[in-house]
Each structure stands twice: as C-alpha cells, then as structure tokens.
Amino acid sequence: MNTYYDIAVIGGGPAGATFARELAKARPEKRIVLIDEKPRTGSKVCGGLLAPDAQKVLAQFNLDLPKSILADPQIFDVKTIDLASGITRHYQRHYLNMDRASFDEWLLELIPENVDIIRGRCHSLTNCCPGEVRVEVDNDGEKSVLFADQIVGADGGSSIVRRSFFDSPSKLYISIQEHFKDDGGDMPSYSCIYDPETSDSCSWTIRKDGYVIFGGAFDIKGGREAYFRQKERVENFLGHSFGEAAKIEACLLTSPRRVRDFISGKDGVFLIGEAAGLISASSFEGISSAFLSGKYLADAFASKNDPEKILKYYKRKTSKLRLKLLFKIPKMKILCSPLLRKIIMKSGICSIEKY
C-alpha cells in the first residue's frame, strides 16, 4: 500500500466501484485507492431491486449479471397499499430481485488490480495543504493515514465526505428494515405501503431468499417508534403477523427536495451517487444514478487534469440526470399526498387486474 495517491475514493458501492473501474481502465497510470467499510458493517440496507434503468446501464457497460447474484423469487408486480383509504392496487414492475451484498462484492471484483482497495472506515478528512487531503482510516481499531490530491465521495446517504466539505441534504430519512423467516403465508411478494399516520414517505415488503423484508423511510426524530407502530398497522391490515425478526438494520436515506441538494463538488473534492444526492425522491431507486455519475466522473478525470475543468465536465455530463431526478420530486409529492394518491388509485389507471 502507498501513502500518497492521486485520487482517494471513499465508498465502494455502485458509484465508487464504477468510478474506480472505469478510471483505472482509461488511465492506468493514476494512483487510485478505494476505501470501503464493508463487510465489517454488513451489507448495504437496500431493497435489492435492480430497476430497468440500472439494467440498461449494465448493458451499456457490457456487463452481464451473474446468476449467483439473483435472489428468489423474481417478481412481476407491486401491490400498492394505501392504509389511509384502504385501497390496494397492483402495478406491473420489471425489476430484478437480487442479493445486494453479492451485487456489491461483484462490482468490487471488477475493479482492475492497479487500484488499491482498503477495507476500513474513513473517519476523518482534512485539508493539510492546498491540493492535498489527509485521510484517516480505521480498520478494526488499526489506524492508518494516507494523502490524496483529490477525493471522490461515494459513501452514500451518511457521506462523511459530504459532511466534511459541503451542506447536508435538506431531507434525510432513517430507513429501518427487518428480515423475517418466510412462512409461505399470503404476504405480498412485493408491496409498496403508504401510511400517512406514521410516515410522509413509503414502506415496502419484499420476499427474498426465504425471508420477507419489511422496511420503510421515517422521520429521523421518533423514527424507531413510528416504524414499530406502522408494522403493527400493516400486520392488522394484512391480517398476518411478520413473526420474530431475524435481523434489523437501519441507515440514512437521502430524499432530494431542491436543486441545491444535488452537489457535484468543489476544490478537488467530488461527489457521486447518493452522496451527491443522486437518488429518486419518488421510488428511492439509486443504483442507476450511482452507475452513471461514477462513469461520468471517471470520463471527466480521464479527459481533463485540472480540477476545475474536471468539475465543469462532470457537471455538464450529469445535467440531464439531475434534471430527471428533479422531476421525481413533484412525482413524490403527488404519490405521498393522501388525496391525490386516493384519486389515482381509485381510478385504477395503469393498474393490472389479478385473476
């Protein structure tokens, strides 16, 4: 391992792994280090559904998904439940159900060997002199220090890079998920649940490899209580108990609300993926944006050397993506409005009939 790098990537999820892979291929002479705290922290808290947009980017990368990453079962519709009105509807979906931990490991394995990968937690970033950042890493109590000319923050919703150099997103939820042994009961394989009494966002159930995941997004204040209250309300509505939880997990979840929530970078520090605010406010789909922003920043580094020019190029390339995500904000407001949701669901528009 070196101590001095051209670029330190903090976070090895879809955004960081894509950036490191694409830049190392395009500019093998660059000294790149990627720091990721998994697997110590377990897998990313996620629904693990690969949306068509993300499938399209994998196709653009010429990457075929190994079968070992897929989870059981593959699901073709979402049951949408509105606890406020009691209306339920089914909508066709085209996601791939996958094991998120295996997916992230596969993406890391695709990174060329000229990138150093450190399994540890970055716990401090400081500007030591112009154009150089000191990065402190903690690996199970063992501390190490390295220096990098440029930093790429790919460290998701609770990004230390974003907190150290930029404003936090205006809206962060706490997302809580529990995993229950699947008893084969008539729990929906995939559902999207709205319950304005406990959250202004949505929740979900997903069947995965012998387990049923129940999770949702809640206000950080009082989130745990709201989660358990909602779980009880969902059980009452479905007439089915989830049973004893095998695992509970939680993380921060970004919900962009305004243009300023999307941050690209400044002064040699860049953000990609969810750390940059690039996630859908309406569905929380974030893997496709993580892929694209990682690729666009790698292209910027491959073709420019000056940090200002890299930033300009990266901003230009991501402008369409930011615009697309901006349009998800009114969509989220419509879906999370009890009245508008009731009207849409009652109309049955776009829903599918179940036989």
Ligand X SMILES: Cc1cc2nc3c(=O)[nH]c(=O)nc-3n(C[C@H](O)[C@H](O)[C@H](O)COP(=O)(O)OP(=O)(O)OC[C@H]3O[C@@H](n4cnc5c(N)ncnc54)[C@H](O)[C@@H]3O)c2cc1C
The residues binding ligand X (CB under 6 A) are 10-16, 35-38, 41, 44-49, 51, 54, 121-122, 154-156, 160, 175, 177, 215, 251, 253, 273-275, 279, 284-287, 290
Pairing of strands 96-97, 49-50: antiparallel
Pick from 139, 119, 99, 126: nearest CA to 16:
119
Count of beta carbons in the 10 Å neighbourhood of residue 2: 9
Least distance in angstroms from the C-beta of 134 to ligand X? 15
Count of beta carbons in the 10 Å neighbourhood of residue 337: 15
Q: 162, 153 in Cβ contact below 8 A?
A: yes
253 vs 281 by CB, closer to ligand X: 253
145 vs 340 by CB, closer to ligand X: 145
Least distance in angstroms from the C-beta of 227 to ligand X? 12
309 vs 320 by CB, closer to ligand X: 320
Least distance in angstroms from the C-beta of 137 to ligand X? 7
Least distance in angstroms from the C-beta of 177 to ligand X? 6
Least distance in angstroms from the C-beta of 347 to ligand X? 27
290 vs 297 by CB, closer to ligand X: 290
C-alpha radius of gyration, the chain, whole number: 21
Q: 159, 174 in Cβ contact below 8 A?
A: no
268 vs 273 by CB, closer to ligand X: 273
> Max Cα separation, the chain?
67
SS3 of residue 206 by DSSP: strand
Partnered with residue 35 across adjacent β-strands are 10, 118
Least distance in angstroms from the C-beta of 117 to ligand X? 11
CA 184 to chain centre: 29
85 vs 116 by CB, closer to ligand X: 116
* Structure token pair of residue 52: 């068509």
Least distance in angstroms from the C-beta of 92 to ligand X? 17
48 vs 223 by CB, closer to ligand X: 48
What strands, in cross-sheet order, belong to the sheet with 88-92?
A: 88-92, 77-82, 190-194, 202-208, 211-219, 172-181, 245-254
Helices (H) and strands (E) in the chain — how many of each? 9, 17
- Residue least distant from ligand X (Cβ): 286
